[in-house]
Chain A
């Protein structure tokens, strides 16, 4: 009986994610970056400034971040809004 309940509840337990957890995953998976993540447990917004984005299209940049997040992106993060900048682009934003 317990394992049935666990199976039913698992997706809901897993679905709550801390923005800091996402921040840490991105920081571990990429180099040379500044990242800020906000969110409510399932919907998140990340602002990432990294030299790794240099010479990459928006699609390539987003794929890079999705790749770092791996299965979490498929299973635990319902929505992640991304803003990606190279340091140069970020400077010109200010």
Chain B
């Protein structure tokens, strides 16, 4: 297992909700990342973010890990939820709330 994969696994296991994004929560560097931050902020939920722009190994590593070609990527309880489009759809359908706060 590469260093990047190891780091990603521990990040995903160590945080209930974690978003791999461009930039950070305060200053997203991409509209798609900003959209997911906005969605997560609308819930009363704690989440961690990882700025892929500050670490090229993580940037490529997370794409390999999830077999998903784009950023942002949201993980909840160790499971890959999706990118921006899917987060928006799950937000609009209300499913994301269920995913974030399992009864």
A: residues with CB less than 8 A from B are 58-59, 62-63, 66, 73-74, 79-83
CA distance A75 to B69 in the complex (A): 10
Cα distance A79–B51 in the bound complex, in angstroms:
18
Question: For the complex, would chain B's binding face be called helix, strand, loop or mixed by DSSP majority?
Answer: mixed
In the complex, how many residue pairs between chain A and chain B have their CB atoms under 8 Å apart? 28
Q: Are B85 and A59 in contact (CB under 8 A)?
A: no
Across the interface, do A59 and B69 meet the contact criterion of CB distance under 8 Å?
no
Give the distance to chain A from B81, nearest Cβ to Cβ, in Å: 8
**Whole-angstrom distance between the Cβ of A25 and the nearest chain B Cβ:** 14
The chain A residue with its CB closest to the CB of B67 is: A63
* Minimum C-beta distance from B46 to chain A (A): 24
Min CB distance A75 to B, Å, is 10
Chain B residue with Cβ nearest A72: B69
B47 to chain A: which residues have CB within 8 Å?
none
Number of B positions contacting A (CB below 8 A): 14
B69–A74 touching, CB < 8 Å:
yes
Q: Counting CB contacts under 8 A, is B70 at the interface?
A: yes
CA distance A76 to B68 in the complex (A): 15
A81: B residues at CB distance < 8 A: 84-85
Q: What residues of A have a CB within 8 angstroms of the CB of B89 in the complex?
A: 58
Judge whether B67 and A62 touch: CB under 8 Å.
no
